[in-house]
Amino acid sequence: MSGTNASAGNGGLPSDVDVVVIGAGQAGLAVGQTLKQAGVNFVILDAANELGVSWTHRWDSLRLFTSARYCGLPGLPFPGDPDRYPAKDEVPHYFRSYAARFELPVHLGHRVTSVGRSDGGFMVTTPTARIAARQVVAAVGAFQTPVVPEFSKRLAPSVTQLHSHAYRNPDQIPAGKVAVVGSANSGLQIATELAGSREVVVCKGRKQPRLPQRILGRDAFWWLSKCGILRLPTNTPLARRLAMPDPVVGAKIGELARSMSFVERVVDADGTQLVTADGKRIEASTVLWATGYRNDWSWLSPELRGSDGQPQHDAGIGASGLHFVGLYRMRNRGSALLGFVGRDAQRVGAAVARRSRR
pLDDT on residue 233: 67
**Minimum mean pLDDT among 9-18, 21-30, 228-237: which range?**
228-237
Predicted local distance difference test score (pLDDT) of residue 11: 77
pLDDT > 70 in the chain, percent: 87
Q: In the predicted model, is pLDDT for residue 128 greater than 90?
A: yes
pLDDT in the model for residue 116: 96
Stretch 263-269: mean pLDDT: 95
For strands 261-263 and 200-203, give the pairing: parallel
Average predicted confidence (pLDDT) for the chain: 88
Examine the pLDDT at 242 and tell me if it is beyond 60: no
- Contacts (Cβ under 8 Å, ≥6 apart) of 11: 110, 126, 127, 128, 129
Q: How many CB atoms are closer than 10 A to CB 142? A: 18
181-211: pLDDT as tens digits: 998 888 999 999 999 999 999 998 767 667 6
pLDDT grade, residue 2 (50/70/90)? very low
pLDDT for 354 beyond 80: yes
Give the pLDDT confidence score for residue 255 in this predicted structure.
Answer: 66
pLDDT given for residue 1 in this prediction: 34
* Residue 219 pLDDT grade (very low, low, confident, very high; cuts 50, 70, 90): confident
pLDDT of residue 311 exceeding 70: yes
pLDDT grade for 251, boundaries at 50, 70 and 90: low
Is residue 19's pLDDT more than 90?
yes
Mean pLDDT value of segment 310-323: 90
Q: How many CA atoms lie within 13 A of 210 on its CB side?
A: 8
Say what the pLDDT of residue 259 is. 80
pLDDT at 95 over 90: yes
Residue 314, beta-bridge partner list: 317
Under 8 Å between Cβ of 164 and 289: yes
Q: Mean per-residue pLDDT for 79-93?
A: 95
pLDDT at 333: 76
d(CA 328, CA 275): 30
Is a pLDDT exceeding 70 seen at residue 3? no
Write down the pLDDT at residue 4: 44
Domains in the chain and their CATH numbers? Answer: 8-144+295-357 (3.50.50.60), 149-209+244-289 (3.50.50.60)
Q: Is the pLDDT of residue 310 over 80?
A: yes
pLDDT bin (cut points 50, 70, 90) of residue 9 is low
Q: pTM score, two decimals?
A: 0.87
Name the residue among 189, 191, 167 with its Cα closest to residue 177.
191
pLDDT at 245 over 70: no
Cβ count within 10 A of residue 334: 23
Distances, alpha carbon 165 to alpha carbons 35, 144, 145, 327, 347, in Å? 32, 10, 9, 18, 30
